[in-house]
Structure 1
Amino acid sequence: MNQTVTTLLIVDDNPDDRLTFKRYLNRYESVYQIIEASSASEGLELVKTFDIDGILLDFRLPDEDGLEFIQQLKQHNNPFSCPIIMLTGVGNQSVAVEAMKNGVHDYLVKSDITPDNLHKAIQNSLEKFRLRRELAQSEQRFRATFEQAAVGIAHLGLDNRLLRFNQRFQKIVGYSQHYLQDKTCIDIIHPEDRQYYQENFQQLLTYQTLTFSQEKRYLRPDNSPIWVNVTLSIVRQDSGEPDYIISVVEDINTRKQTEAALKQANEHLHALVAQLQQQNQERILLSELNTYLQTCTSVKEAYCILADLIHPLFPGFDVGVCRIDESGTEVKLVSHWGKTFVNHPRFLAQECWALRLNRVHWSNNSQGSLLCPHCHDYTPSIACCVCIPILVQGKPLGLIILSNSQPGQLSQEKQQLAQILSEQIVLALANLQLQEKLQTQSSPDPLSLL
Structure 2
Amino acid sequence: MVTGLGLYLLYQTALQGQKTRLSQTAKTQALLLESMYDTIKNPEIIENTVAQASKEQDNSQTATVDICKLLGNQIILINDRTEFSKKTIVPLSSNLAQAMHKALQGYSGITFALDHRGIKVLAAYEPVEYLHWGVVAKVDLAELRAPYIQTGIYTLLWASVLNGLGGLFLWRLCHPMAKELQQEKTIRQDLENRIAKHTDELAQINQQFHQEITERQRLEEVREREIDLLARIMETSPVGILMVNPNGDIVIASEQAEKMLGLLKTEQGYQMPPWRVSDEAGNLINDQKHLCKQVMEGRQSIYDVREMIEFADGSHILVSINGSPVFDETTRLEGVVFTVEDITERFQVETALLHSETQFRAIFEQASVGIGIVALSGQFIRVNQRYCELTGYSEAELQEKTYQDILHPEDFNPNTDTPDMNNFSVEKRYIRKDNSIIWIHLSGSIVKDQNGQPMYIVGVVEDITERKQAITALKESEERYRRIIETTAEGVWSIDLNNRTTFVNQRMAQMLGYTVEEMLGRSILEFTDTEDQVMTLQKLAPHQQEITESHDLKFLCKDGKSIWTMISTNSIFDAEGNYAGALGMLTDITERKQTEKALQQANIQLIEWNRKLQQRNQEILLLNQISDFLQACLSVEEAYQVIGELLPTLFTGYQGAVFIINETSNLVEAVATWGEDLHSKTLFTADECWALRRGKIHWVHEQSHLRCQHVHHNVSTAYNQSLCVPMMAQGKAIGLLYLCYDQCEPISPTKQQLAQTVAEHLSLALANLNLRETLQAQSIIDPLTNLYNRRYMEEALKREINLAKRKRHPVGIMMLDVDHFRQFNATFGHEGGNCVLKAVGSFLSRHIRSGDIACRYGGEEFLLILPEASLEISLQRAEQIRQGLKQMQVSYGEQLLSQITVSIGLACFPDHGKTIEELIKSADFALYQAKNAGRDRVVRYTVDL
- TM category, shorter: 0.3 to 0.5
TM-score by length of 1: 0.39
Higher relative contact order (CA 8 A, sep 6+): 1
Query: Bigger radius of gyration, 1 or 2?
Result: 2
